[in-house]
Amino acid sequence: MGPFLISPLDDATDPLALDAERGFAMQQFRRQAQHRTLHGEHYAYPWHRIQRFRVPLSFVESATAARINGWWQAGTVLAFTLDSSAWPSTHLCRAVNAESPLHARRAPYAALRAGELLLEALMPGDAVPRPFILDDPVLGRLDQPYNAIL
């Protein structure tokens, strides 16, 4: 697997270029709700299918690991670009690890980290940060000088 780029969606000026190790996987994941009735029947209601990426990483510098762990902790929307061919593809993702993605130290190097980054692609209806503009349907847009609210 070739290198990939990862950066926050709101600040894509300085993306991280990392190399995935053996074990990289791109999977289809199905979200669904399940329940059993009192009589024991099982019902499953599939919602949608999403892409999930497993990215094992080793020998990552501490500063880079802290940056990735910060994105995971804040739930930042990430632009994940796979560069495996002449047609790179970019996915909007979030890190969904159960614990800190890069938490293990790589022996014998105290300053290097290792771990696995688990990314889940966002669906079109998921919350993606957009500029917030409060407009009034009667008085007009707030960024215009004719608005009476100003």
Per-residue pLDDT, 70: 92
pLDDT at 128 over 60: no
Decide if 57 contacts 45 (C-beta within 8 A). Answer: no
DSSP string, 29-59: EEEEEEEE-TT--EEEEEEEEEEEEEEEEEE
User: How many whole angstroms separate alpha carbon 57 and alpha carbon 35?
Assistant: 37
Residues 6+ away with beta carbon under 8 Å from 109: 59
Decide if 19 contacts 82 (C-beta within 8 A). Answer: no
pLDDT digits (tens, 9 = 90+) for 42-61: 888 877 778 888 988 888 88
User: pTM here?
Assistant: 0.69
Assign 90 to helix, strand or coil: strand
Quick one: tokens of 6? 């990862």
